[in-house]
Amino acid sequence: MTQAEIEIQMLAVVVAAACALPGAFLVLRKMAMMSDAISHAILPGIVAAFFLTHNLNSPLLILAAAGTGVFAVLLVELLMSTERVREDAAIGLVFPVLFSVGVLLIARYAGDVHLDADAVLLGEPAFAPFDRLVALGRDIGPRALYAMGAVGLANVAFVALFYKELKIAAFDAGLAATLGFAPTLIHYGLMTSVSITAVAAFDAVGSILVVALMVAPPAAAYLLTDRLRDMILLSVGLGVVAAVAGFQAARLLDVSIAGAMASAAGAVFAIVWLAAPRYGVLAGRRRRRRQKWEFAEKMLAIHLFNHEGLPEEDTERRVGHLEEHLSWERDFARRVVRRAQSNGLVRQANDDLLALTPKGRAAASEAITNL
């Protein structure tokens, strides 16, 4: 990789990590769509603040524009509080309006600066290395990398410092309130963090990628663990994986970097969704299939157990009779018998006759008492 490419890759990794932290809490609070609203609604704020600062990476611009993100959340909540509009509709109403105001402002007043409607949606990480930060007369790297790094560190500090508060407010807002933790304050703290991250990341990667990196890695991490701390760490890790895979794919295929990274985030989620060891789709299917066979084996054991030592035992013990008594297909019955044999529950005494082993008898009587 060239120096510029290394810088772009570093920026992508930092953006992914910074987005995953507040993203994990958005996903847990079932507010993933809020990231969509915020990342679009900040546009008019960015344009307005740009007129004041003339610098897309100035901390002042980031804070001022983040205010628009929080304002969008307030508008959504205002609409919801009237109980005439549901949350999904409120989000769908607020962010396109604010976003299009931003687009109009750009078209009317900022046509000649590096701020156009395409860049807003997809960003252009490839430009990041051109805007350098110079300190004491020396070039110390792309400005965007420092801006994003500062926001990322702020997010780390926010989550580390208020981990307990964020957790209790997300799990049980009622308890949080009675214990004096002001869940509304925590809510707006999180929304501020999302807004600041979205503003800082938008210039480099655009609003689509912000949404992808805030939602996909945490949603994937949620399927991999049962612990909040691990979920947050995994979100960051999976975000970084998506950033590296996406950028390398973009280099290889010569396509949009932001587009490739968003696709990589989607691919990471899809892989985890399918293959997660416990909560993945495939694991669930495997588990259901295994349960089906285990249940059938248990039924077989109970059937033999119920007829043990009775006069009709010999007819009931025949494999062929299972088809009649349990209404099993012949193939299915044979496979159940074979599995039960290899698990040591039954043995085939002679030709067609089945008998319970001591283990099978124990399993049957346990199953009956647990019915």
**Interface residues with another protein (CB under 8 A)?**
28, 161-165, 167-168, 170-172, 174-181, 222, 225-228, 230-231
Residue 46 or 224: the one with the smaller Cβ distance to another protein is: 224
Output the smallest distance, CB 222 to another protein, in A: 7
Rounded CA gap, 359 and 362, in Å? 5
Pick between residue 253 and residue 371 the one whose CB is nearest to another protein: 371
170 within 8 A of 163, measured Cβ to Cβ:
no
Between 77 and 131, whose beta carbon lies closer to another protein? 77
CB of 20 to another protein, least distance (A): 15
What's the Rg (C-alpha) of the chain?
A: 29
Other C-beta atoms within 10 Å of 266: how many?
16
Nearer to another protein, 137 or 174 (CB): 174
128-147 core/surface letters (b: 16 or more CB in 10 A; e: else): bbebbeeeeeeeebbbbbbb
Q: Considering the complex, what minimum distance in angstroms separates the CB of residue 171 from another protein?
A: 5
Note whether 297 and 340 are within 8 A (CB).
Answer: yes
By beta-carbon proximity to another protein, the closer residue of 230 and 352 is 230
- Report the nearest approach of another protein to the CB of residue 36 (Å): 21
Structural contact between residues 203 and 144, judged by C-beta atoms closer than 8 angstroms: yes
Q: Decide whether 164 or 330 has the Cβ nearer to another protein.
A: 164
CB 165 within 8 A of CB 180: no
C-alpha pair distances (Å), 161 with each of 147, 152, 154, 158, 164? 21, 14, 10, 5, 8
The least distance separating another protein from the CB of residue 185, rounded to whole angstroms, comes to: 10
CB of 176 to another protein, least distance (A): 8
Nearer of residues 173 and 367 to another protein, judged by Cβ? 173
Select 168 or 249, whichever has its Cβ closest to another protein: 168
Cβ 215 to another protein, closest distance in Å? 16
Q: Min. distance of Cβ 209 from another protein in angstroms?
A: 25
Residue closer to another protein (CB basis): 24 or 66: 24
* Cβ 225 to another protein shortest distance, Å: 6
Pick between residue 170 and residue 243 the one whose CB is nearest to another protein.
Answer: 170
CB of 73 to another protein, least distance (A): 21
